[in-house]
Amino acid sequence: MAEYDYEAARAHFDEAMASTGGSQPAAHALLELLVEHLALDGVALSLEPQLSQTAAADPEVRALLALAAARTDDASAALRFLKGLSGARAADTWEALSRAAVERGAADEVDRFLDRLADCHPTRPDLHRQREEATRLRSEECRPAEEELRHVIDSGDEAAIESAARAVLARWPESAVAGQALARVKERRRRAEADRLLAMATAWPGPGRGPGAPWHPWPGPPKLRATGVDR
């Protein structure tokens, strides 16, 4: 449609909406013009009260409204319109929702919306790039917590290090800083326990030996001499 036809077309579709009580054909035509050609998403959403019941239940109409809501960052409205929809139309909305979430810095929402996008359209061209963007966003979100964890690590307090590392991992399981810190705590404890057991074994006197004597395998508890009394 040529650009100079848009206003005339909009006037025609507005009239059709009014004269048909918001019928499905008129609603679809007007919403398609407003959302896909004019990007007047707010105007499109304002038409919802004028829709007939048939139009309001129509998947194509709902898909256009869902996309308009997503592009205005109204996730709750977009999800309401998306209910029961799938395929390319739904994929457009999930992608728009993920982009809006990236702009807001909402990493968890980005991941959730991209999962739904992958369900609708697993070969979507931008899906991999958006996954990378979500990873970058989560890394930026996690950075202040990792910096605070580094200060705790410098303190040398293992209990505090473990607690702080677990807190970071509970929120950001992919955190390499927290994962490595927790692994080091566990390794030091494992070595300390091994050293403790070795020290105990070395200190065990054994028959005829004093503490500190060379270690030999423990022969087991002494056997009781038979006395003829049942025990």
Q: Are 179 and 169 in contact (CB under 8 A)?
A: yes
Q: Where are the alpha helices (DSSP H) in the chain?
A: 6-20, 24-32, 41-46, 53-57, 59-71, 75-82, 87-104, 107-120, 127-155, 158-171, 176-203
CA end-to-end span of the chain: 104
User: Which residue in 142, 141, 116, 145 sits closest to 130, CA to CA?
Assistant: 116
Strand, helix or coil for residue 139: helix
The CA-based dihedral angle spanning residues 75, 78, 80, 81, taken in that order and rounded to the nearest 10 degrees = 180
Res 209: pLDDT = 54
pLDDT(229) > 60: no
Q: Are 18 and 42 in contact (CB under 8 A)?
A: no
pLDDT above 90 as % of the chain: 38
Res 51: pLDDT = 95
pLDDT(18) > 60: yes
Q: Which of 1-15, 94-108, 208-222 has the highest mean pLDDT?
A: 94-108
pLDDT(228) > 50: no
Mean pLDDT value across the chain:
84
One-letter amino acid of 55: A
Interhelix angle 127-155/107-120, rounded to 10 degrees, is: 150
Q: What is the mean pLDDT of residues 30-59?
A: 94
User: Which residue in 19, 43, 18, 20 sits closest to 31, CA to CA?
Assistant: 43
The whole-angstrom separation of Cα 73 and Cα 188 is: 48
Least confident segment among 21-30, 108-117, 207-216: 207-216
Q: What is the mean pLDDT of residues 47-75?
A: 94
Q: What is the pLDDT of residues 89-147, one digit of tens each?
A: 899 999 999 888 888 878 878 888 988 988 888 888 777 777 777 778 788 888 898 89
Between 18 and 211, where is the model more confident?
18
